[in-house]
């Protein structure tokens, strides 16, 4: 177990100067490093308890790399990642394990992030079992409760992922992520693969769960409309750097950075008269 006590005054997640460079290699027998992709290039942000930080950017901006580095799926090149005041950037697998209870992830692709050969009950119950929280009939009861909480039915326990639609699969992924009652959930494009009408359902569900369990979200998306809806604060990423960060109102209503302005201006407005207006002013 950890020796350092969590510091209650510290932000839940405090990332400072995070860098991730991927080497570019050439050569047949002997790999030579010929360059580096600076996927994340000095990124700093905080997530406070119970709040949502939206991280928005286009493909290749480095936002997914940030997520993966924070949950330690990949190793950062340098920088500090503090969870409740404790440095986790260099921790080993073993030392990370108790922290995984506090920090969970929801993935973009609801088709790829669930093991097709496992039943829903096993998928959602896996973290509870692994962490030794529950087993046997108690595990089943808890999983069924979770399934109902995310809008599925307790009878879905014995079904396989392929029997569900995209939106339902994302609910399964959410049930798995909240099963350990984490403090932080990292959502990597959780709605971008879904139909618009289903997106609204999932966004509302995430909102409800946040209120109920006091979750904090690091919500990563390329759709600034969704980010604006769900976030308390927003950080805009471009080419590995955060170009602008602030409250939703600051960033979305009074953007300062040129790239943020460009991003906001590119979002289609579902109102024909306003669209025509924009065409005239172009």
Partner 1 sequence: MSARALLSVRDLRVGFTTEDGLLQAVDGVSFDLRPGEVLAIVGESGSGKSVTAQTMIGLTRARNSRIEGSVELAGEELMSAGDAKMRQLRGERIAMVFQDPMTSFNPVYRIGAQIVEAIRAHRPETSKAEGRARAVELLGAVGIPDPERRVDAYPHEFSGGMRQRAMIAMALALEPEVLIADEPTTALDVTIQAQILRLLEQLNRERNLATILITHDLGVVAEIADRVLVMYAGKVVEQGTLDEIFYDPQHPYTWGLLGSLTRLDQPRPKRLPQIAGSPPSLLDLPQGCPFRPRCPHEFSKCPQYPPLEARLPDAPGHCDRCWLTPEEKGEKRVVAGRIGLEAPNA
| Footprint of partner 1 (CB under 8 A) | 58-59, 165-168, 195-201, 203-204, 207, 222-226, 228-229, 248, 252, 262-275, 277
- Minimum CB separation of residue 265 from partner 1 in Å reads 8
CA 217 to chain centre: 7
Instruction: CB nearer to partner 1: give 1 or 279.
Output: 279
- Minimum CB separation of residue 152 from partner 1 in Å reads 12
DSSP the chain: --SSPP-TTS-SEEEEEEEEEEEEEE-SSS-EEEEEEEEEEEEEEEE-TT-EEEEE--TTSSHHHHHHHHTTSS--SEEEEEETTEE-TT--HHHHHHHHTTEEEE-S-TTTSS-TTS-HHHHHHHHHHHTTS--HHHHHHHHHHHHHHTT--GGGGG--GGGS-HHHHHHHHHHHHHTT--SEEEEESSSTTS-HHHHHHHHHHHHHHHHHH--EEEEEES-HHHHHHH-SEEEEEETTEEEEEEEHIIIIIS--SHHHHHHHHHSPPS-HHHHHHHHHH-
- Minimum CB separation of residue 226 from partner 1 in Å reads 5
| CB contact at 8 A, 15 and 83 | no
Instruction: CB nearer to partner 1: give 178 or 224.
Output: 224
Instruction: CB nearer to partner 1: give 25 or 130.
Output: 25
Instruction: CB nearer to partner 1: give 5 or 59.
Output: 59
- Minimum CB separation of residue 177 from partner 1 in Å reads 20
Cα 65 from Cα 52, distance rounded (Å): 19
Instruction: CB nearer to partner 1: give 17 or 208.
Output: 208
Instruction: CB nearer to partner 1: give 28 or 196.
Output: 196
Instruction: CB nearer to partner 1: give 99 or 152.
Output: 152
- Minimum CB separation of residue 122 from partner 1 in Å reads 23
- Minimum CB separation of residue 57 from partner 1 in Å reads 9
- Minimum CB separation of residue 194 from partner 1 in Å reads 9
């Amino acid at each position: 177990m950890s020796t350092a006590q969590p510091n209650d005054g510290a932000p839940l997640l405090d990332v400072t100067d995070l860098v991730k460079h991927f080497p570019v290699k050439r050569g047949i027998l002997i790999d030579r490093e010929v360059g580096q992709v600076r996927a994340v290039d000095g990124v700093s942000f905080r997530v406070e308890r119970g709040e949502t930080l939206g991280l928005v950017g286009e493909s290749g901006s480095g936002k997914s790399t940030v997520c993966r580095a924070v949950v330690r799926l990949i190793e950062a090149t340098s920088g500090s990642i503090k969870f409740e005041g404790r440095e986790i950037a260099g921790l080993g697998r073993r030392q990370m394990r108790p922290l995984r209870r506090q920090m969970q992830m929801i993935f973009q692709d609801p088709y790829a992030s669930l093991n097709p050969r496992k039943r829903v009950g096993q998928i959602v119950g896996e973290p509870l079992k692994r962490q030794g929280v529950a087993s046997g009939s108690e595990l089943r009861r808890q999983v069924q409760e979770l399934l109902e909480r995310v809008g599925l039915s307790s009878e879905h326990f014995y079904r396989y992922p392929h029997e569900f639609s995209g939106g339902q699969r994302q609910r399964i992924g959410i049930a798995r992520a909240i099963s350990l009652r984490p403090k932080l959930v990292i959502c990597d494009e959780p709605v971008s693969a879904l139909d618009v009408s289903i997106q609204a359902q999932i966004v509302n569900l995430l909102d409800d769960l946040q209120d109920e369990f006091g979750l904090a979200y690091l919500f990563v998306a390329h759709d600034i409309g969704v980010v604006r809806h769900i976030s308390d604060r927003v950080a805009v990423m471009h080419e590995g750097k955060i170009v602008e960060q602030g409250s939703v109102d600051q960033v979305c209503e009074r953007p300062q950075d040129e790239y943020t302005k460009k991003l906001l201006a590119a979002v289609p407005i579902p109102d024909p008269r306003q669209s025509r207006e924009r065409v005239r002013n172009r």
